[in-house]
A = this chain, B = another copy of it.
Amino acid sequence: LLVFAARREHIAQVITPTLARGAWVLSDRFTDATYAYQGGGRGVALEKLALLERWVHADLEPDLTLIFDVPPEIAQARYRGDRGASDRFEAEQIAFFGAVREAYLRRARENTRRIRVVDASLSIAEIQAKLREIVPLG
């Protein structure tokens, strides 16, 4: 409920006025992230999230969503800057982020027109090249 209350306020105060003056809006996380973290990660029923989404922004959806996809093990190694052996806490984290990732990828399969999955295990240069294919800005 708090996530969607915050989203409603963000839409009303930032996104809608920005679109109204003709600008583009780039958002780092939106409702797909809620499906991934609260749904896939924390186990909130997806039909509850779908209902709240409809209440809060039935009339607003991104034109394009990019998911930068990487296995949790690689993400964690990059984040920590090392590839040390996992302890128990890390194993739990990897399971959590694995569930989050699966929920993101399911959203992508269900919204093929809007969502593009980018393989983020590639190098930065390769990822940039992919993005130029997806969003050709001239």
Contact = CB atoms under 8 A, between A and B. Distances in A.
Interface of A: 1-2, 4-5, 8, 48, 51-52, 55
Contact of A55 (B4, B5, B48): B48
Contacts of A48: 55
Contact of A5 (B5, B8, B51): B5
A121 to B, nearest CB: 37
A4 B4 CA distance: 12
Interface pairs A-B: 3 shortest CB-CB = A1-B5, A1-B1, A2-B5
A8 B5 CA distance: 14
Contacts of A4: 1
Contacts of A51: 51
Nearest to A55: B48
Nearest to A52: B1
A105 B4 CA distance: 31
Given A1-B2, A1-B8, A51-B51, 8 more contacts: A1-B1, A1-B4, A1-B5, A1-B52, A2-B2, A2-B5, A5-B5, A48-B55
Contacts of A8: 1
Nearest to A2: B5
Nearest to A48: B55
